[in-house]
Amino acid sequence: MSTTTTLWTSVAVGIVLFTITILLGFLSTEYRFNANFLKWVVLPTLGYLITIGFNSFLQSTRCKSINIKQIVMGSLSVPITILLFLLLCLLPFIRSPIEEAVPYKLRDKYAVLFAIAFYMFWAGMFGESLASGFAMSCPSENQVGKPLPK
């Protein structure tokens, strides 16, 4: 169950981040506002909140209880990977293979947008695959330093 569940939740988070990136980029190009703030603040924040929701659901179905501290700490991998991938997208040679795949008519307006959205998909996949591992480890009654029951 865990590998399949991790795959599908990771794909879902990746698709959501891809879609949000495309929407933010489309709004910024069509309505001429600077989306840098949205890109650097809104994407990691929404990714974090979405991951907390997915991981709460995963832990409640697998463990029959929720340890919100474990989920909140484990879900930090998503905004960290989003910020890391956004930093990588600042480098033109990282974006160029994706930009070249965009049709020529759309390249001037949307090439960078599609490249960033592509990497946001993979940031969501990678971050959620790490975070769901934390969510699927059920909280135990035993604490470190306490002896196990006999």
pLDDT digits (tens, 9 = 90+) for 92-133: 999 889 989 888 888 888 888 899 999 999 999 999 988 888
Q: Which residues contact 14 (CB under 8 A, 6 or more apart)?
A: 120, 121, 122, 123, 124, 125, 128
- Does any domain span residue 148? no
Distance between CA atoms of 41 and 85, rounded to whole angstroms? 14
**Residue 77: CB atoms within 10 Å:** 22
Answer whether 0.85 is exceeded by the pTM.
no
* pLDDT, the chain, mean: 84
- Does any domain span residue 59? yes
- Does any domain span residue 149? no
- Does any domain span residue 65? yes
Number of domains in the chain: 1
- Does any domain span residue 145? no
- Does any domain span residue 42? yes
Q: Which domain holds residue 60?
A: 2-136
- Does any domain span residue 83? yes
